[in-house]
Amino acid sequence: MRGFLLMRKNRNVWILLTGEFVAGFGLWLGIIGDLEFMQDKVSSDFLKSLILVAGIFAGMIAGPLAGKITDQYNKKTIMLYSGIARLISVAFMFIAIETGSVWWMIVFLIAINLSAAFYFPALQATLPLVVEKKDLLQLNGIHTNVSTLSRILGTAAAGIFLSVMSLWTLYLLAFISYVVLFILTCFLKVDEQKCKAQSIKEDAASNGQGFKEVFPLIKGQPLVLMTLVLTIVPILFIGGFNLIIIAISEIQNNPSVKAWLYAAEGISFMLGAFFVKRYGNKSPYATLLFFSTIIGISQLVLYFTNMPIITVVAFILFGFSVGTFFPTAATIFQTNVPSDFHGRFFSFRGMFDDFTYQIVLVATGLLLDIIGFQQMTVIFGVLSLLITGCFYMKFRNGDRENSLFEEAG
C-alpha cells in the first residue's frame, strides 16, 4: 500500500516506472526477435553467444566515459540522448531483416548496447534523487517488479506476435515503445543541484572526475565490494538465460516449455521483490548470502531437467531468489556509495556486469556444445556455492558482521 502512495504522490516516480515498463516491453520484444533471427541464421550455440557478446563488449568499453559524463552532466539530458541513439539503432535491425545479414544484426547489438551504457547509469543515479532515503528500498522493489512485469508481458506478447506477424513488425512495435519512453523522459523534472547540495561529499565531483577514483571507494566499502562480487552468482544463471531455456526446450522436445519457464521465473521474481520490501531492511548481509545459496541450489537442481516439474521448480527458486537479491543489492549500492560517485560507480558496475555476462555467455555456449546442459549446470551450481561459501567464511566473525550491518544502515 505504501508503494502505491509513493507513486501517487511523486510525479517523477510515475514517469520513471512507466518508462521502465514501456522500455522493458520493447526490449524483450527485441530480445525474442533477436533469438528468432539467430535461430534461423546460426546453428551453433557458441556462435550465438559470440554474436550476443559483441554488443555487450561495446557497452563495456563505453562504461568509463558513460560514468564520467553521468556525474558531470544532467542525467535527464543523458537519458534523452540515449533514447535517440536507441531509436537509431533499431534502424540497423530493420536492415538486417531486409538483407538477412547477421552482420547488420551485430551492428544493431553494438548500437543498442552503447545507448544502454549511458542510459542505465543515469537512470540508477536518478532513482535516489526522486525519493527520500527511507523510501529507496521501496522504490527499488517496485522498480524491480515493473521491470519483471514488462519482461513477462514482453516475452509472452513476442511469442504470440511472431505467430501472427512478421519479424519486421515485431521490431516496429519495439521502436514505438522506445518513442513512448523518450516522450515520457521529456516530462521528468529533477533538481539535481539541490540534491547535490545536500551531499556530504559535495566537492568530490569537482576535485576529481577520474573514473579510477571508483576503485579506492569500493575497496574502502566492504559491503559494497562483497555485494559487487556476489552479483556474479545470479549472473552465472542469467548470463546464458536464453540459451539455457532453448537447451531445455530441446532436451524436453517441447517448444511451449519456454513460455512456462519465462512465466515461472518472472512471477516468482515479482514475489521475491514483494518479499524484500517487507523483510529486506532487517539484514542485507544475511539476505544476499542466503539467496545466493538458493540460486546455487537451483542451478544444481537443473541437472534433472528431463523432468519438467523439477525444471519449473528450479526456475521458481531462482526467480524468487533473484527478485530478492537485486533490490537489496541496488539499495546497498545507492545508500553506501556517495551520491557524487553514483554515475561513475553505476557505470563501473555496468562494465563489471557486462564483462561477467560476456564470460558467462561465451562459456554457456561453449559448454553446451562440448559437455552438454546437465554437466554445465553442475559446474555453475558448484561455483555459485563456492563463491557464497567464501564470503560467508570471510565475514562469519560476529564483530565483522556487525560492522557490515552498520554500513548497510
Q: Could you give the CA distance from residue 267 to residue 144 in angstroms, rounded to a whole number?
A: 12
Residue 375, pLDDT score: 92
Q: Could you give the CA distance from residue 92 to residue 108 in angstroms, rounded to a whole number?
A: 5
Grid coordinates in use for 320? Answer: 524468487
Closest CA to 77 of 192, 225, 154: 192
**Range 309-332 average pLDDT:** 86
The type of residue at 139 is L
| pLDDT tens-digit series, residues 222-255 | 778 888 888 888 888 887 777 788 788 888 887 6
Q: Check residues 313 and 273 and name the one with the higher pLDDT.
A: 313
Closest CA to 234 of 408, 380, 124, 51: 380
**Range 37-56 average pLDDT:** 76
Q: Could you give the CA distance from residue 237 to residue 357 in angstroms, rounded to a whole number?
A: 10
Dihedral angle at the C-alpha atoms of 41, 45, 47, 53, nearest 10 degrees?
Answer: 110
How many other C-beta atoms can be found within 10 angstroms of the C-beta atom of residue 20? Answer: 21
DSSP string of 231-272, one letter each residue: THHHHHHHTTHHHHHHHHHHHTT-TTHHHHHHHHHHHHHHHH
Residue 282, pLDDT score: 63
Helix, strand, coil percent content, the chain, rounded in steps of 5 = 85, 0, 15
Q: Could you give the CA distance from residue 108 to residue 83 in angstroms, rounded to a whole number?
A: 14
| pLDDT tens-digit series, residues 48-95 | 777 877 777 787 788 777 777 877 778 888 889 988 998 999 999 999
Neighbour-count burial of 208, counting CB atoms closer than 10 A to its CB (0-12 exposed, 13-18 middle, 19+ buried): exposed
Percent of the chain with pLDDT over 70: 78
Q: Could you give the CA distance from residue 199 to residue 89 in angstroms, rounded to a whole number?
A: 37
Highest averaged pLDDT of the listed ranges 15-19, 266-270, 385-389: 385-389
The residue to which cell 516449455 is assigned: 257
**Range 276-305 average pLDDT:** 81
DSSP string of 119-132, one letter each residue: HHHHHHHHHHHHS-
| pLDDT tens-digit series, residues 175-219 | 888 898 889 888 888 766 555 544 444 444 434 455 567 777 777
Closest CA to 240 of 62, 330, 153, 369: 369
Grid coordinates in use for 72? Answer: 558531470
The residue to which cell 564483462 is assigned: 355
Q: Could you give the CA distance from residue 198 to residue 196 in angstroms, rounded to a whole number?
A: 5
Q: Could you give the CA distance from residue 157 to residue 155 in angstroms, rounded to a whole number?
A: 5
**Range 5-25 average pLDDT:** 74
| pLDDT tens-digit series, residues 93-110 | 999 989 988 899 889 888
Task: Specify the 3-state DSSP secondary structure of 322.
Answer: helix
Q: Could you give the CA distance from residue 81 to residue 101 in angstroms, rounded to a whole number?
A: 28
Residue 94, pLDDT score: 92
Q: Check residues 229 and 408 and name the one with the higher pLDDT.
A: 229
Q: How does residue 381 score in pLDDT terms, banded at 50, 70 and 90?
A: very high
Q: Phi/psi at 208 (nearest 5 deg)?
A: -170, 120
Q: Phi/psi class of residue 253: alpha, beta or left (left: φ > 0; alpha: ψ in -120 to 50)?
A: left
Q: Could you give the CA distance from residue 170 to residue 161 in angstroms, rounded to a whole number?
A: 7
Count of alpha carbons within 13 Å of 278, Cβ hemisphere only? Answer: 5
Q: Which residues of 308-322 are buried (b: 16+ CB within 10 A; e: fewer)?
A: eeebbbbbbbbbbbb
